[in-house]
Amino acid sequence: MAIDTTVLNILQDLTGEDFSARGDENLFDAGLLDSMDTVQLLLALQDELSINVPVSEFDRSEWETPNKIIAKVASLS
């Protein structure tokens, strides 16, 4: 499965919302994602794409929109 679909699926699991058409929405400002969800996101990425993202790598400004997350994951895989 492509990275973007996987990420969007994970985000939908976490927030209950579909972001396929809302790639530039700020997830933290909108209160859709919190620290707890981020940890789940990182774990899900590990499980589903087997990419290891350490917590230190997680800088909110680089992970704040679905598009940014996809780009970040792509760069790490």
Partner 1 sequence: MIDWQPYANPQYFVVLLAALVPLIIGLYHGRRLHIYETLASLLFIVMMFTGTKWHEGFALIGYVVFQVALVQGYARYRQTHNGTAVFVLAVLASIAPLAVVKLTPAIAVHPSILGFLGISYLTFKSVQCVMELRDGTIKRLPALSFLRFLLFMPTISSGPIDRYRRFEADYAQVPTQAAYVEMLGRALRYLFTGFVYKYLLGYVFGTLLLPQVAHAALVRGGLSWPLVGYMYTYSMYLFFDFAGYSLFAVAISLVMGIDTPMNFNRPFLAGNIKDFWNRWHMSLSFWFRDFVFMRVTFFIMKHKLIKNRIRVSQVAYLINFLVMGFWHGVTWYYIVYGLFHAGAIIINDLWLRYKKRHKAQLPHNRWTQALAIFITFNVVCFSFLIFSGFLDQLWFSPMHH
Lookup: tokens for 17: 């919302």
Positions 17 through 56 that interact with partner 1 (CB under 8 A): 31, 34-36, 38-40, 42-43, 54-56
Please answer whether residues 34 and 57 qualify as being in contact, where contact means their C-beta atoms are separated by less than 8 angstroms.
no
C-beta closer to partner 1: residue 1 or 31: 31
List, in order, residues 6 or more apart from 9 with CB less than 8 Å away. none
Please count the residues of this chain forming the interface with partner 1, following the rule CB under 8 A.
Answer: 14
Residues in touch with partner 1 (CB under 8 A): 31, 34-36, 38-40, 42-43, 54-58
